[in-house]
Amino acid sequence: MIAAIHDRCQTDPRQVFVTGLSAGGAMTAVMLATYPELFAGGGIIAGLPYGTAKNVPQALERMRGHAMPTSSELAELVRSASPFSGPWPTVSVWHGASDATVDPANALAVVDQWRQLHNVDEAPSRTERVGDHMRRIWINNAGCQVVEEYLVTGMGHGTPLSTHSSDSVEVAGPHMLEAGISSTRRLAHFWGLDRAISNAPSHAAPTQELSGARVRSSARFDKPVVQTSGRIASTIEGALRAAGLLR
């Protein structure tokens, strides 16, 4: 499909990106790991690390944040997925701090998986607060931002939107959640796709740089929020049981 678009539209093969939410986030991880030569970057929103689940019960365990492989095992899963040896795609990781469907531990695991491939330290190079949200950035020896992570305060399972700014065209809906920050715009900025328009997201919340210390808690900066993530998880499990895929 990518090759067909290149041929039809004469697109730049060095500027191909992939992103997805939930199962789409997991599929983004699959695409980045198995076809890394095709992508300049990927955005994994509330997804799972590549290769950590081979069947439905394992997927549900990872969604709960249970039995995650070690950091070195996570990186090896990607290295063994293809003969590719780099340079690896950049990765942007997004997760709701109050996600009850896919535990935020998965965001930490995705970061661990890709920061090792980029040969950057465990501790982030820089930590920022963007409005109410925390952003951590890993920068390689060439000075390039290669991995970033946003933990979105108060958000459940979904894609974060910023619908209230004067220039926003985003509309909240199922799994598309108002969070005061737009993952779509910030992904475009991280990948350099918005530079013809502006040098930064035009409606971005103020960014405050913090220390470089790693924050491990999966409940960081949580605020109470009304959400339906528990019902979503119950619906998924009920459907799998009905299909005979889960006992």
Residue 95 near residue 152, CB atoms below 8 Å: yes
Cα diameter, the chain: 52
Catalytic residue among 22, 92, 98, 229: 22
What's the CA gap between 245 and 215, in Å, rounded? 37
Residue 13, both tokens? 């093969």
For the question of residue 80 being annotated catalytic, the response is: no
Instruction: Map residue 44 onto helix, strand or coil.
Output: strand
105 three-class SS: helix
Residue 132's closest CA among 175, 98, 108? 98
Active site residues: 22
